Structure 1
Amino acid sequence: MERMEVWMEKAPDLVLVYGTRILLALVIFIIGRWVAKGIATMTRKVLSGRGVDPTVVGFIGNIVSALITLITLIAVLGQLGVQTASLVAVIGAAGLAVGLALQGSLSNFASGVLLIAFRPCKAGDYIEAAGTAGTVEEISIFSTTLVTPDNKTIIAPNSAILDGVIVNYSAKSTRRIDMVIGVSYGADLRQTREVILSVINENPAVLQEPAPTIEVSELAASSVNFVVRPWVRKEDFWPTRFALTRDIKFALDQAGIGIPFPQMDLHVKALPKSE
């Protein structure tokens, strides 16, 4: 009974002390989160204003936000009476254990840093990597987001992107279109080349330098194959390829040059007359 009375006497003081600490800790957390968001946003704006790549801007913004949030949490725990010095040691030991358990995540984080540092690809580039292909939308701390031409979103781990071969179709300003056009063995090869060259020269998207290549590459089983390799700006690659394929077919038809296709000749022998 006496203990209850003592506790009742101390209760108001305890509520005042710990209530104040909890309230201040809550205020510190709210302000810390607001500051983290504000500084991260300001960092992104400053970097964007200086022309820094959007991929780097997003990555650094996320890092800044995470660091300030961590500092805020330590301050909140200190306000609640937790010994932060010992807490840091505990966090260090726990971090080692967690790091061993989360090697894959740490590998993704390290790969993300290397992707940002060496920039084999950036936001807006069309790449092939990690067994898939798409336009890079974002390189975050642990993963890279790609968008496919048919508008599917693919999220690949950074380590999978960095550990494999990266084919970047957007790294250079120009690309070469590689086409193979087969014509019949009876076609005039000089005329065929002139017809194909005229179609290429009439297309305004085809670059004059480097000059297009049009040469006989193979005497195949049923056709003589020409390699046709014009150069275009990277953004004109697919529209130009589609247009040239269509226009070359029309031009060869008008010139009377046949394009062979698989076919089979069937010879029927007369059956012996039944007796």
Structure 2
Amino acid sequence: MTFESLLAQYGAWFESVGVFLVTLLAVSLLGHLTVRPAVSRVLTARNPNNPTLVNALEQYTTVLFVIVAIPLATTAAGFGGLVAGSTMIVAAGTLAVGVAGQDVIGNLVSGLFLVADPDFNVGDYIEWNGEAGTVERIDLRVTRVRTPADEVLTVPNTQLSTNAIRTPFSRGKYRLTERVLVGYDTDLDTATEVLLDAADADDRLASDPEPVVHVTSLGENAIELSARVWVDDPRTADVPNVDSAFATRVKRRLQAADVSLAPASAQRVDGRLDVSMEGER
């Protein structure tokens, strides 16, 4: 069989494949180059402070047009009858894809829920399952989070949508609590004044709300004082450094004021000790 005869025999099939690819590409590009920018402009105008929603819906618009392009390209190429005549194959393929892609589908759905959540946005500092960081991007399958160590975590969307998420900076301030153990002979007014002065000495700590000191526990051998201070604009402040500096300042100033810190616990030992000595033989 010559090349020309093979080409003539399979020419119609190659033509159908070409139509399928061209239609698929044309519809996908139509969505990506025309509809997606329009959606982006409208969303940006209506949601200027929600880049999460804009970014996610741009991606979903592109994916939607690809999904729509597949049946259109199949019909345009004349593969509709072939697909309809292979019901069992299509059903088996659908089942296989569904089982193999259940995690992917779950992440896609979870991504939609994260985008729709008004309390979850790009730029938020979040904590979950012992991890923490700032949300940088929400993709179709994963969310990218930058940790305080400047590492990027690629987190499946299902982890964030099915677990409790803490957003300590959601109200624009972050509270620091420094607990101090002092002896019962300590003048509490003096200790309180020292703690408040230590808070006032750092401009990075907020003046509104004002720092406060409370007695939080009367232990067996010591009194626990808790100094609560707040950090302004925690997204830009170096919170761990502020916390460490405050704790160091508290320790030094209490020691300078002769306040006994963490007094040793009184221990009582009960029992009997027998000593026997043997004389020289």
Higher helix share: 1
| Same fold at TM > 0.5 | yes
Summarize deviations over 1:134-180 as a string: whole Å, max 9, x none. Answer: 22222223333323222333333333322222211231111221221
Flag the 1:65–1:228 CA change in 2: closer, same or farther, 3 A.
same
Q: Structure 2: how far apart are the matches of 1:40 and 1:258?
A: 70
Flag the 1:19–1:217 CA change in 2: closer, same or farther, 3 A.
closer
Q: Structure 2: how far apart are the matches of 1:258 and 1:202?
A: 22
**1:197, distance to aligned residue in structure 2 (A):** 1.2
Flag the 1:190–1:43 CA change in 2: closer, same or farther, 3 A.
same
Summarize deviations over 1:26-70 as a string: whole Å, max 9, x none. Answer: 444444454444347625752346515222122112211112222
SS of residue paired to 1:66:
helix
Give the equivalent residue in structure 2 for 1:166: 165
Q: Structure 2: how far apart are the matches of 1:212 and 1:272?
A: 62
Give the equivalent residue in structure 2 for 1:137: 136
Give the equivalent residue in structure 2 for 1:73: 70
Q: Is 2:40–2:58's contact at 8 Å kept on the other side of the alignment?
A: no
Instruction: After TM superposition, list the pairs within 5 Å mapping 1:24-39 onto structure 2.
Output: 24-39=19-34
Q: Is 1:175–1:231's contact at 8 Å kept on the other side of the alignment?
A: yes
Q: Structure 2: how far apart are the matches of 1:15 and 1:101?
A: 33
Give the equivalent residue in structure 2 for 1:61: 58
One-letter identity of the residue aligned with 2:146: V
> TM-score of the superposition, structure 2-length normalised?
0.75
Bigger mean CA offset, 159-168 vs 232-241: 232-241
Give the equivalent residue in structure 1 for 2:258: 256
How many residue pairs were aligned?
268
Given the alignment of the two structures, is residue 42 of structure 1 paired with residue 37 of structure 2, yes or no? yes
Q: Is 2:191–2:259's contact at 8 Å kept on the other side of the alignment?
A: yes
Flag the 1:131–1:224 CA change in 2: closer, same or farther, 3 A.
closer
The root-mean-square deviation of aligned C-alpha atoms, in Å, is: 3.8
SS of residue paired to 2:67:
helix
One-letter identity of the residue aligned with 1:38: L
**1:245, distance to aligned residue in structure 2 (A):** 0.6
Q: Structure 1: how far apart are the matches of 2:13 and 2:82?
A: 21
Q: Structure 2: how far apart are the matches of 1:183 and 1:264?
A: 14
Q: Structure 2: how far apart are the matches of 1:52 and 1:74?
A: 37
Q: Is 1:74–1:84's contact at 8 Å kept on the other side of the alignment?
A: no
Flag the 1:211–1:85 CA change in 2: closer, same or farther, 3 A.
farther
Summarize deviations over 1:121-143 as a string: whole Å, max 9, x none. Answer: 11121212355332222222333
**1:114, distance to aligned residue in structure 2 (A):** 1.8
Q: Is 2:221–2:265's contact at 8 Å kept on the other side of the alignment?
A: no
Unpaired segments ≥5 residues, structure 1: none
SS of residue paired to 1:230:
strand
Given the alignment of the two structures, is residue 83 of structure 1 paired with residue 80 of structure 2, yes or no? yes
One-letter identity of the residue aligned with 2:33: G
Q: Is 1:40–1:62's contact at 8 Å kept on the other side of the alignment?
A: no
Give the equivalent residue in structure 1 for 2:213: 214
